[in-house]
Amino acid sequence: MASLSATSLSFKAPSTQSTRISQVLRKASTFQSISFGRFQSSKSLRLQISCAAKPETVQKVSDIVKEQLALSADTALTAESKFSALGADSLDTVEIVMALEEKFNISVEEADAQNITTIQEAADLIEDLVQKKPAA
Amino acid sequence: MAAPFTLRKIGVQPNSANLTEARRRVFDFFRAACRSIPTIMDIYNLQDVVAPSQLRFAISAQIRNNAHVTDPKVIDLLLFKGMEELTDIVDHAKQRHHIIGQYVVGEGLVQNTGSKDQGKSDFLKNFYTSNYF
């Protein structure tokens, strides 16, 4: 802080307004970079959590979804595709959850089952339950 | 399984207040039925006849049959009858040919539309189904 004031004092003679503007601009740019960095780190954090499910789990979930909704074998199913977008009504979603319960030998609570809307969420929940099960 | 699923005998519940609660009860019933499927397959020795996914499909088809109902009381009654049927099946009060006939073959999954109806007129088909057409 002392150095800053010293510099401001030293540059006082020439155009003070320009230095202040440049200081403000510098501050603004640093603020921008900080916020951008934060945005990046939060985004990567989020990506880390969502990538916790193994790809073969996601693949198995996609297979079950395709079989349940009678989709053709070459429909592209991404991890983010919602069940409702694929033509599943709420009963279909419950049936998919039951099929996953049978396939992975887990037991999904009703509260958890309400939040499943995409394939990725289902895979994450399955991974969670599979990990918790041997510990119990 | 984490714990084998047992069907709890809950008595008659009070009527559901609105459609949302009726919906929730439908899904609860469906989940209970699906979780009883391994027991059913064990009791009636259906391992070679049908797959659990086919039984799930049969149950959901029956539910979807009545999907157009909007009155919560009617839904409650349908669920009561469904629960009664499920309890009978799990209690081994039915026999194997009942299950196969009702849920697997015939009016179940595999349509046994024989050759006797082909080529007949629409009049006769309607005549066989009901008096009013």
Tell me: the pLDDT tens digits for A89-121?
A: 888 888 988 998 888 888 888 888 888 888 888
Q: What is the mean pLDDT of residues B50-75?
A: 89
Kindly indicate the confidence band of residue A84, based on its pLDDT and cuts at 50, 70 and 90: confident
Q: Read off the pLDDT of residues B92-123 as tens digits, 9 standing for 90 and up.
A: 999 999 999 888 876 655 554 444 555 667 88
CA atoms B64, B70, B72, B78: torsion sign: negative
Asked if residue A8 has pLDDT above 80, the reply is no
CA B45, B49, B52, B58 torsion-angle sign: negative
Q: Are A116 and A97 in contact (CB under 8 A)?
A: yes
C-beta pairs of B95-103 under 8 Å, 24+ apart in sequence: B95/B44, B96/B44, B96/B45, B96/B46, B99/B40, B99/B44, B99/B46, B100/B46, B100/B49, B100/B50, B103/B50, B103/B55, B103/B58, B103/B59
A95 and B30: CB-CB below 8 Å? yes
Average pLDDT, chain B: 84
Per the listing, tokens 């709420």 go with A90
Burial of A131 (0-12, 13-18, 19+ CB in 10 A): exposed
Nearest to B52 among A91, A102, A106 (CB): A102
Report the chain A residue with the minimal C-alpha distance to residue B3.
A107
Candidate from A91, A102, A105 with C-beta closest to B64: A91
pLDDT of residue A4: 45
* Cα(A20)–Cα(A123) distance, integer angstroms: 54
A107/B2 Cβ within 8 A = yes
**Sign of the C-alpha dihedral computed for residues A53, A59, A65 and A68 taken in this order:** negative
Confidence of residue B65 (pLDDT cuts 50, 70, 90): confident
Amino acid A48: pLDDT: 45
pLDDT at B119: 66
Q: Does B23 touch chain A (CB under 8 A)?
A: yes
Confidence of residue A14 (pLDDT cuts 50, 70, 90): very low
Say if strands B105-106 and B110-111 run parallel, antiparallel, or are unpaired: parallel
Q: Please give the torsion angle defined by the CA atoms of residues A94, A99, A100 and A104, in that order, rounded to the nearest 10 degrees.
A: 150
Are B19 and B72 in contact by the 8 Å Cβ rule? The answer is: yes
**Whole-number pLDDT of residue B70:** 87
Mutate to test the interface with B, among A66, A68, A90, A91 (most CBs of B within 10 A): A91
More confident residue, A133 or B106: A133
pLDDT band, very low/low/confident/very high, at B3 (cuts 50, 70, 90): low
Cα separation of B28 and B25, whole Å?
A: 5
* pLDDT tens sequence across A16-63: 454 555 454 555 444 444 444 444 444 444 444 445 667 888 888 888
Q: Find the helix or strand (DSSP H, E) in which B111 lies.
A: strand B110-111
pLDDT at B83: 93
Note the ipTM here. 0.71
How far A46 CA sits from the closest chain B CA (Å)?
30
**Reported pTM:** 0.68
